[in-house]
Chains A and B, each alone.
Chain A
Amino acid sequence: MKKDLISQLNKQTLILDGAMGTMLQNVGLPAGSLPELLSLTNPDIVYNIHKAYIDAGSDIIYSNTFGANPYKLSGSGHTTKEIVSRSIEIAKSAASDKYVALDIGPIGQLLEPNGLLTFEDAIDIFKEIMAAGENADLIAIETMADLYEVKAAIIASKEVFMGTQKPVFVTMTIEENKRTFLGCSLDEIACYLNAAGVDAIGLNCSLGPVELKPIIEGLCKKTSLPVILKPNAGLPDPITGQYNIGAEMFSSLLNEIYFKGVSIFGGCCGTTPDYIKAIAHNLKGRAIVPRGVYEKPAVCSSTKTVYLDSVKLIGERINPTGKKLLKEAIKTKNMGYIIKQGLAQVDSGADILDVNIGLPEIDEAGLIPIVIKSLQKTIDSPLQIDSSDVGALEAGLRVYNGKPIVNSVNGDSENLDKILPLVKKYGSAVIGLTLDKNGIPESAEGRYKIAEKILNAALSHAIKKEDVYIDCLTLTASAQQKEVMETIKAVRLIKEGLGLKTVLGVSNVSFGLPNRELINSAFLTMALANGLDLPIINPNNKTIMDYVHAYKVLSNSDVSAEAYIKKFSVNALSDGAPVDPGQTKGIMSLNSAIISGIPMEAEIATKELLKTESELNIVDSYLIKALDIVGKKFEAGELFLPQLLLSAEAAQSAFETLKNNMALNGTTAAPKGKIILATVKGDIHDIGKNIVKALLQNYGYEIFDLGKDVPPEEITKCAISNNIKLIGLSALMTTTIKNMQETIYALRKSGHDCKIVVGGAVLTEEYAKMIGADYYAKDAMATVDIARATL
C-alpha cells in the first residue's frame, strides 16, 4: 500500500476529507465531550461521515482518533487501544480501496519546558496510539503548534513502524503572524521537517483559505516535499459559530493555491462533504505544479532558524577542556552556570552553540539530555552536539528541539555506519572530519578524498548534501607549520569541488605561540577568504569578532558596511546607552553597592577589597552586614520586593567574584549549611522558590535546587543521600498543597532527621502546622531567619 501512496504523492494531487468534529456536532455531540468515544457508542454515525467523504471524492480519510490518547481519555473508562483500533476498523470499512490515515492531534498537555509533560512521556503516548493504529495506511499528525511535540510523534513513528515505511504527513496550525502559538515560524517548520524524514508537510486549521493562502505559498518556497493544505471553512462568527466561506468559494480559493504547488487538499473545522465534493471536482488527480525549490542549508531551534547563506559563527565555550569552573558546573549539574556561558556567547554574536560536556568522571549520555533541555529552554540559538561518545550523541540528538548539528563523524567506515543513521533518524546536520584510521592526511587532496567518502556515505543514508559540513582540521602552527596552508587549501578544494559547507575550529592553530589572538585572527581571515562558512570560535574574544566584522564588509556580505558602521563609527562608540549609575565608576563601597542594588559596583568593590582582605572576611564583615541592613529595611516596609532582589543580585555578583578568586587560588569555602528547595509535585510556580534561593545563597548556604513539579521520592532521596537538615517546600495552589503534605509525610516516614519549612501564597501559619511542617515562612527573608536559627 505504502509504495502506491508514496508514488502517487509525487505524481498527482490527492484529496483528503473534511471536518469530523463539525459533522458530529451537527448531529448533537455536546461541546467539550470526546468525539472519539462515538467510535464505540455510535459507530454508524462515524461510518456514515467517513462514507460521505469517500462518496464526495476523498482519496484519504482521517480516522476518528484526533484526541484518542491516554491523557484525554483518562476517566472515560476506555483505553487508547480500544478506541484507536475500533476507529481504524470503522474508517477502513468505509474506505474500501481508499487510504485511511491514523489521525493524531496534540496530546492536550503542553510539553516541557512550557508545560509539564516530559518529551519521553510524549514519545510513549504517541507510540501507544500508533501501535493501536498499526492497520492504518499512513500517519497524519495534525493541528500541531509545538515542534517538540511533532518531533516526539515522528520519533514514535520511526520506532513503532521501523522498516515498514508507513508514510507520515505533518500539518501545523499557524496564526496570521506566520507563527504557531508556541512561536515556531515557517522557517523552523520547513527546516526541521525537511530533514526529519516525513513524506508530506503543510498547514491545517486556525484560519480559512483566504488567510492561509500567502502563508502556504511561503511554505511552498521552503520545502521540496509535497505540501498539504487543510483550511477551516473561513473564519467563524464569534456569536453563532458559523463559518463564512461556502463550498464553492472554498474550492475556487484552493484552486488558486493549487497553482502555487500545493498538491494535497482537504478541509478542517466547518467543512463538510459538500466542500470536499467541490474541491474534488476541481482538483482531484491533477498533475502537480512543479515548484523547483532548492532547500537552503539551515539549522534551527524550535523558534529560530539560522540559514548558512553567509559566514555563521559557532561558539566554542561550552567545552570543559581547560575550564575549571565549567568542569565544576558539569560535575555538580549547575545548569545556571552552563546557561550563562551560552547566553554570553549569544550576546557576543554566536549564531550556533557547540555543546561538549565530555569529562571522564561523568555519565555523559545521562547528563547531556539535561544540559540540552536546560539550554534550549532559555536560548533560541541552534545547538551543535559535540561528543565522541555515540550514546551521548544519540541522547542529545533525541531531546534536541529542532535541527541541530552533530559534531562529528569521520572518514572511518565503522564510525560512519554508527553515527549517520542517528543523523538521519533525528533530522540533523552533520560535521565530517577529514581524518580516518590512518590519521589526518597531510595533503589537501587527501582530505578532499575523505570528505568525498563522507558525503557519499551520508547520501547513501538519505541525508541531504546540504546537511553535510566538512571540517578540514586546523593543525598547530608551532608543531606542523608546513601543513597549516594545506588546511586552507582543503577548505577551498572541498567547497569548490564538492559544494559542501566547511567548518574549522580556529584557536588550535596558535597553540604554543605567544600572542595567540594575532595568529588566530590572521588564520581565521585566510580561511574565510578561502571559503570557510562556519568558524568555531570564542565569540567573547573581541579581536576575533572584530576580524569577523571586517571580513563581512570586505566580502560584501555586510552590505554597505551597515552593521560595521553601526558598531565602529565614532558616534556609536561615544554615544552608547545612558551610563548606568555606578556601572563604570568603581567608587562605591561594597556596602553601598549592595544596598543600592548595583551588581557591577559590587563586583568592582569586591575586587578592590580582595587586595587587602580575605574572602571569608569579606563575606562576614561586608556582604552579610549589608544584606542585613537591606533585610531590615524590607521588613520595616521601607523597601519593596524588587529592591530587596536588586540588592541580592549585587551581593550575588560579589559572591561570584569571591568564588572566581578562590577557584584561581585553588581554595574553596565551606558553605554555612545545605538546604533543599523544591516546588512540590504538580505545581509549576517556581519564582517564589527562586527568590528564596537567591537570598539564601547570599547568606552562604549551599542550595540543592530540585526545581518545580518535584515528586516526594526525589526530595527524600536527595535529603538522605546528601544528609540535608533543612528542606524548603513551595506550593502556590490549593490543589497542590496535598502534594506538599505528602512530601512532608514521605520525609518523616523515611526517618531522616530534618526540619521542613514551607511557603507559598495559599499557606498560613496554621495550615503549615496542620500539614506537619516545622516552620512557615511568610516571605524570603523569613526563610533566611529560619535557616540561621536551624543550621
Chain B
Amino acid sequence: MVNKIDKGGVLRLLAYNSAHNLNNTPVIDELVNECILEAENASQFRYIYKIFDINGCKLEGTDIYLNSRDIKAHLEGSSKCLVLAATIGVGVDRLISKYEITNITKAVIIDACGSVAAERAQTKAISEAAQALMSNKGMGCNFMTSQYSPGYGDFPISMQNKIIDILQAQKTIGLTVTENHIMIPRKSITSLTGISGQAVSGKLSGCKNCVLYNKCKFKKN
C-alpha cells in the first residue's frame, strides 16, 4: 500500500523511547494505531520530478544556481540533477486542524504520521524515478546520490520557491509555497539528487552529517 505508515517512525518523531512507560496510559497504543489508519486514509501520494544537466554551478535550462558550499559538495561528480517534489496532499493537514480543536493528542500523533508519510512518499518517488532513469539507456544514469533538500546545511530554504516554480508543482501535484518558504500542503518534501555515470554517494546527507547530530532527539541512527 502506497500510503502505509511505519509505526516505529511515528513513535520516533514523537520522541518515544524505551524509558517511557506505556502502561501509565492504557489507551495510548491503540490511539497511535487509530491515528496511523486515519492518516493513511487521508493521504494522497503525488510527486513530480525533472532532470537537468549540471553546468558548473547552474542547472541548465533554469535560472537556478547552486552556489552554496554544501550543495556543491553534495553534487560533486554528478553530471545531472534530479529535482523532485513529493507530497501527501492536504487531507492530513485538514485532519490535524480538525483534531487541534477536538483532540489535541490525536493532532500531535497525526502530525507525526504525516511527516513519516511524506518521507515515505519521497522515498517511493525517488525509487520510481530511479527505475525510469535506469530503463532509459540514453541517459547514462547508473548512480545516484542521496537526497539534499532546501534548508539543509547552507543550502537556503528560499530555494524551495524556485524548485516549486521549475517543477510547476502547483499545476502538477497541487504543491505551493508561501513567501516565507513554507510548503502547503505541509507534509511535502523537495529534494535534489545527483546523477552520474560513475559511482557518487553524496557527501552531506543523512543524520550523521547534520550539525545537530549530537543533540537531536529525532535522529535515525
Q: Which residues of A contact B (CB under 8 A)?
A: 30-33, 106, 108-110, 113-116, 143, 145, 173, 177, 180-183, 205-206, 238-239, 241, 336, 339-340, 343, 377-378, 580-581, 595-598, 633, 637-643, 645-649, 682-687, 690-691, 694, 733-736
Contact = CB atoms under 8 A, between A and B. Distances in A.
Contacts of A734: 151, 157
B97 A113 contact: yes
A649 B104 contact: yes
B90 A181 contact: yes
Given A31-B50, A182-B90, A642-B31, A690 B16 contact: no
A241 B167 CA distance: 11
B61 A30 contact: yes
Interface stretch (B1-9, B68-76, B171-179, B200-208): B171-179
A650 to B, nearest CB: 10
B82 to A, nearest CB: 10
B178 A116 contact: yes
Nearest to B19: A637
Pick the most buried of A31, A378, A596: most chain B CB atoms within 10 A of its CB: A31
Interface in B88-134: 89-91, 93-94, 96-98, 100-105, 107-109, 111, 129, 132-133
12 contacts: A31-B50, A31-B166, A32-B162, A114-B184, A239-B51, A637-B20, A641-B108, A642-B109, A643-B24, A687-B100, A691-B108, A733-B157
B136 interface: yes
Nearest 3 A/B pairs, CB to CB:
A181-B174, A32-B166, A32-B165
Given A597-B25, A646-B28, 16 more contacts: A106-B171, A108-B176, A114-B90, A180-B174, A183-B90, A183-B91, A238-B132, A239-B139, A336-B101, A378-B97, A637-B20, A638-B24, A643-B22, A647-B25, A687-B111, A691-B104
B199 interface: no
Interface of chain B, main secondary structure: mixed
A173 B171 contact: yes
Interface in B158-198: 158, 162, 165-166, 170-174, 176, 178-182, 184-186
A551 B96 CA distance: 37
B20 A339 contact: no
A32 B184 contact: no
Given A241-B50, A648-B104, A690-B100, A31 B61 contact: yes
Contact of A640 (B14, B63, B89, B166): B14
A597 B111 CA distance: 20
Contacts of A643: 20, 22, 24-25, 28
B62 interface: yes
B97 A649 contact: no
A685 B180 CA distance: 12
A114 B104 contact: no
Contact of A687 (B20, B96, B158): B96
Contacts of B15: 640-641
B14 A682 contact: no
B184 A115 contact: yes
B27 interface: yes
A205 B171 contact: yes
Contacts of B174: 145, 180-182
A115 B176 contact: yes
Contacts of B158: 735
A87 B180 CA distance: 30
Interface of B: 14-17, 19-22, 24-28, 31-32, 44, 46, 49-52, 61-64, 89-91, 93-94, 96-98, 100-105, 107-109, 111, 129, 132-133, 136, 139, 151, 157-158, 162, 165-166, 170-174, 176, 178-182, 184-186
Contact of B105 (A180, A206, A581, A642): A642
B68 to A, nearest CB: 15
Contact of A645 (B91, B97, B104, B179): B104
A635 to B, nearest CB: 13
Given A595-B24, A639-B21, A690-B100, A645 B181 contact: no
A333 to B, nearest CB: 14
A143 B172 CA distance: 10
Nearest to B176: A110
Interface of chain A, main secondary structure: loop
A735 B174 CA distance: 23
A109 B94 CA distance: 17
A336 B100 CA distance: 9
Contacts of B97: 113, 377-378
A301 to B, nearest CB: 12
Contact of B171 (A143, A340, A646, A691): A143
B150 to A, nearest CB: 11
Pick the most buried of A30, A343, A580, A638: most chain B CB atoms within 10 A of its CB: A30
Contact of A30 (B26, B31, B32, B63): B63
Given A31-B50, A239-B133, A736-B180, A642 B21 contact: no
A687 B181 CA distance: 18
A183 B184 CA distance: 14
A206 to B, nearest CB: 8
B130 to A, nearest CB: 11
A106 B182 contact: no
A687 B90 CA distance: 16
Given A30-B62, A32-B166, A690-B104, A181 B173 contact: yes
B110 to A, nearest CB: 10
A108 B179 contact: no
Given A183-B90, A239-B51, A642 B32 contact: yes
Given A32-B63, A646-B25, A115 B105 contact: no
Contacts of A682: 178-180
A580 B105 contact: no
B16 to A, nearest CB: 5
Contacts of A686: 100
Given A106-B170, A641-B14, A646-B105, A596 B24 contact: yes
Contacts of A110: 176, 184
A43 B125 CA distance: 39
Contacts of A633: 21, 24
Pick the most buried of B16, B90, B136: most chain A CB atoms within 10 A of its CB: B90
Nearest to A109: B176
Contact of A733 (B63, B162, B181, B185): B181
Nearest to B111: A687
Contacts of B103: 649
A180 B111 CA distance: 23
A640 B91 contact: no
A611 to B, nearest CB: 27
Nearest to A182: B90
Contacts of A647: 25
Contacts of B166: 31-32
B46 to A, nearest CB: 8
Contacts of B20: 637-640, 643
Nearest to A72: B165
A645 B103 CA distance: 9
Contact of B16 (A378, A596, A640): A640
A371 to B, nearest CB: 14
Pick the most buried of B111, B133, B165: most chain A CB atoms within 10 A of its CB: B165
A114 B90 CA distance: 7
A638 B21 contact: yes
B129 A238 contact: yes
Contacts of B100: 686-687, 690
A690 B181 contact: no
A683 B180 contact: yes
Contacts of A649: 103-105
Contacts of B108: 641-642, 645, 687, 691
A630 to B, nearest CB: 9
A205 to B, nearest CB: 6
B27 A581 contact: yes
Contacts of A687: 96, 100, 107-108, 111
Nearest to B10: A642
Given A339-B101, A378-B98, A642-B109, A596 B26 contact: yes
